[in-house]
Amino acid sequence: MRVATWNVNSVKQRLPRLLPWLDLRKPDVVCLQETKLADDAFRALLREALADRGYEVALHGQAQWNGTAILSRTGLDDVAAGFPGEPGFPAPEARAVSATCGGIRVYSVYVPNGREPDSDHYRYKLAWLAALRDAVSADRAAGADLLVCGDMNIAPADADVYSPAAFVGKTHVTPPERAALASLEAVGLHDVVRDRWPGKRIFSYWDYRAGMFHQDRGMRIDLVLASDSVADRARAAWVDREARKGTGPSDHAPVIVDLDDAPDGDIGPVVPPPSARMLRNRARYGIRATPPYQLTSAGVGRGPGSTDRHSDTGTVPGGISSSPENTSRANSSESRNWAGSPAAR
């Protein structure tokens, strides 16, 4: 089973990229965040295209903001919008949907941003995470196999941001946020990507501004958290960086976890890796590079020892056309702060 999570930052804007990506990567279960569509509008836009690809859909959306979805080709049972005890701001928001897919209880979550430390929205974020922990804990107590996937809006550790100094005094990295995430994991969940790639430089989000993506100034805030029984089935875990390239991308890349079988091998942590120029910049500042990989018509795999197989422009064989990044802020309805973290809802 291939499971993916992706903050698409408007499914309507991302439609020209989402459908080809589904055809290329062929995930069995997809958790989407920031769909920014009411449920009826989502169905009108995508019902036929997703059905043609074999997906059932669980939705919890709202117009313009937030919105979560689960696409599944492995069954879709016991769908729930939100979770017990979920707080609002002040009204409930479309930030979570869950369903049982292939015997696993899957959550797609979009954690509140927090905006500024000690703000009302920051306190809402912490309360929301505490309620999510309680809901997931109840599922664990009932013996469910679990996946909690999505945009956590928290970098778990300093290694998960490009520069800890750039985030001093900002959300996403404060001790209370990290403690709230750790409390969620403490119910019996594993950070699958980090467990598989300890010590590696891995990001899933890059601000649209100022070439942050091409400089690899990112954050790892999109996570796949799995219960013991599911984490033990992981055969590959990686960030699909190719999907962040090109024209009109989301500011997030999909995170993919393969269970039981890895069609592309045990690749990762970031596929394809940053360009040679980026690797040289890392070396200049003493930052260890990740291993080389290559993307071919047969799939994605480790390269035979080269330090760089792909630039950040052009077309990658077997991949999505990757013209230079469109850095226009028209791609995002959200403002960003100077450090490059999401600063909105």
Q: What tens digit of pLDDT does each residue of 212-247 get?
A: 999 999 999 999 999 999 999 999 999 999 999 999
Report yes or no on 341 lying in a domain.
no
% of the chain residues with pLDDT over 90: 78
Rounded Cα gap, residues 325 and 291, in angstroms: 24
* Cα torsion 331, 336, 341, 345: sign: negative
Report yes or no on 10 lying in a domain.
yes
Which is it for strands 222-227 and 270-271: parallel, antiparallel or unpaired? unpaired
Residue (of 49, 53, 90, 55) closest to 75 by Cα position = 55
pLDDT of residue 277: 53
Report yes or no on 343 lying in a domain.
no
pLDDT of residue 151: 98
Q: Any residues with CB less than 8 A from the CB of 179 and at least 6 apart, and which?
A: none
- Dihedral (Cα; 171, 31, 2, 252), 10-degree rounding: -40
| pLDDT band at residue 321 using 50, 70 and 90 as cut-offs | very low
Report yes or no on 344 lying in a domain.
no
pLDDT of 260 strictly over 80: yes
Counting Cα atoms < 13 Å in the Cβ hemisphere of 88 gives 6
Give per-residue pLDDT as tens, 23-34. 999 999 999 999
Residue whose structure tokens are 């400089």:
215
* Cα torsion 242, 248, 250, 251: sign: positive
Global pTM reads 0.84
Task: Give the least confident one: 26-30, 142-146, 315-319.
Answer: 315-319
* Average of per-residue pLDDT across 200-205: 97
Report yes or no on 336 lying in a domain.
no
Sheet holding 270-271, edge to edge: 56-60, 68-72, 29-33, 2-7, 255-259, 234-240, 270-271
β-bridge mates for residue 256, sequence order: 4, 238
For 319, the domain range is: 2-331
Report yes or no on 345 lying in a domain.
no
pLDDT of 313 strictly over 70: no
Report yes or no on 24 lying in a domain.
yes
% of the chain residues with pLDDT over 70: 80
CATH of the domain at 92: 3.60.10.10
Report yes or no on 322 lying in a domain.
yes
pLDDT of residue 342: 75
Q: Is 306 exposed, middle or buried (0-12, 13-18, 19+ CB in 10 A)?
A: exposed
Q: For the chain, what is the radius of gyration of the CA atoms?
A: 19
∠ at Cα 115 (110, 121), nearest 5°?
Answer: 75
Residue (of 67, 71, 48, 49) closest to 58 by Cα position = 71
Give per-residue pLDDT as tens, 150-169. 999 999 999 999 999 999 99
Domain count, the chain: 1
Rounded Cα gap, residues 157 and 109, in angstroms: 20
